[in-house]
């Protein structure tokens, strides 16, 4: 399936193809933001499409990517199992915990959890 805008819980979401190209640069993030500007309010990126540097906070890649989404007023949902990365890093666990408390960046296990979050209005 290609990346496509779907209405999920009444919100337009750019749902990214799990088999699509990796998100490995800031330009890749900007390309997704550009695609979202066709009508999406949220971008759902499968965790497996994120370059491993995203989960190694010392690289600052995650912060750079997340800041781009915030700057463009788009919500970012990282969707999928990141338990292995969480087990490796207490800093990443703290980032995920704090992000999930807010309304802009979420780390969720699947699209059903995204639907639940969107229905809650957060």
The predicted structure's pLDDT at residue 121:
77
Domain boundaries, the chain: 4-119
The predicted structure's pLDDT at residue 5:
96
Q: Is the pLDDT of residue 87 over 60?
A: yes
Percent of the chain exceeding pLDDT 70 equals 98
The predicted structure's pLDDT at residue 36:
96
Residue range 51-75: mean pLDDT, rounded: 96
CATH of range 4-119; options 3.30.750, 3.40.50, 2.40.160, 1.10.10:
3.30.750
**Please, what is the Cα angle at 114 between 109 and 119, to 5 degrees?**
145
Task: Sheet containing 4-8: give its strands across.
Answer: 4-8, 11-15, 42-46, 75-79, 105-108
**pTM (two decimals):** 0.94
Q: Is the pLDDT of residue 122 over 70?
A: no
Residues 6+ apart with CB under 8 A from 105: 66, 69, 70, 75, 76, 77, 78, 99
The predicted structure's pLDDT at residue 75:
97
Residue range 37-47: mean pLDDT, rounded: 96
Residue range 72-94: mean pLDDT, rounded: 97
């Amino acid at each position: 399936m290609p990346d496509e805008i779907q209405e999920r819980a009444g919100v337009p979401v750019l749902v990214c193809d799990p088999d699509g190209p990796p998100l490995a640069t800031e330009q890749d993030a900007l390309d997704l933001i550009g695609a979202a500007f066709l009508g999406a309010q949220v971008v759902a990126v499968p965790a497996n499409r994120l370059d491993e540097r995203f989960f190694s906070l010392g690289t600052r890649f995650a912060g750079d990517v997340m800041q781009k989404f915030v700057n463009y007023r788009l919500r970012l949902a990282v969707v999928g199992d990141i338990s292995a990365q969480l087990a490796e890093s207490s800093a990443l666990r703290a980032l995920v915990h704090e992000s999930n408390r807010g309304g802009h960046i979420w780390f969720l296990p699947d699209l059903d959890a995204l639907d639940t979050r969107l229905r809650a209005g957060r």
